[in-house]
Amino acid sequence: MTVSSTPTSPPKRHDTKGPLTCCPRCHKAELLGRAMRRPVFRYDKVDAAERPSFYDMFHGDQHVGTLTRRGSSGSSTYDVRVMSDTGDVELMAGSLRDARALAEETYTAQWREGAYTARGPVREL
Ligand SMILES: [Zn+2]
């Protein structure tokens, strides 16, 4: 029995919805694609009467983090939580703007390394 010498692999149906778990080629291609893009996030503000207000952070349909405001106005800080496959990352920021930047950078770094298999909206760099 001889092994085919054609350089291309036999026809295979690739999982375009979950390229990270399909095969090494799809995994590599997906990471290369992610390196040239940034996730697009969406925030939902949640106002709760007896709890500090917080923001839910989404990438597509996936809930990926929360930003929780601490303290009264003027001296407030934000607790940043980014969910990941390997455990949540907890950070702190001095303003909502910093909190968002921190959460986005943290998520994006892990996303580029192949975390988060679900596909969300992205934009070209
Ligand atoms: Zn594949």
Secondary-structure percent of the chain, ordered helix, strand, coil, rounded to 5: 25, 30, 45
pLDDT at 86: 82
pLDDT at 96: 92
pLDDT at 43: 96
pLDDT at 53: 82
User: Within 13 Å of residue 125, how many CA atoms lie on the same side as its CB?
Assistant: 8
The rounded Å distance from CA 23 to ligand 1 centre is 4
The rounded Å distance from CA 44 to ligand 1 centre is 35
The rounded Å distance from CA 12 to ligand 1 centre is 8
pLDDT tens over the chain, length 125 residues: 555 555 666 677 899 888 999 999 999 999 999 999 999 999 999 887 777 789 999 999 999 999 998 876 667 899 999 998 888 999 999 999 999 999 999 999 999 999 998 889 999 98
How far apart are alpha carbons 16 and 29 in whole angstroms? 11
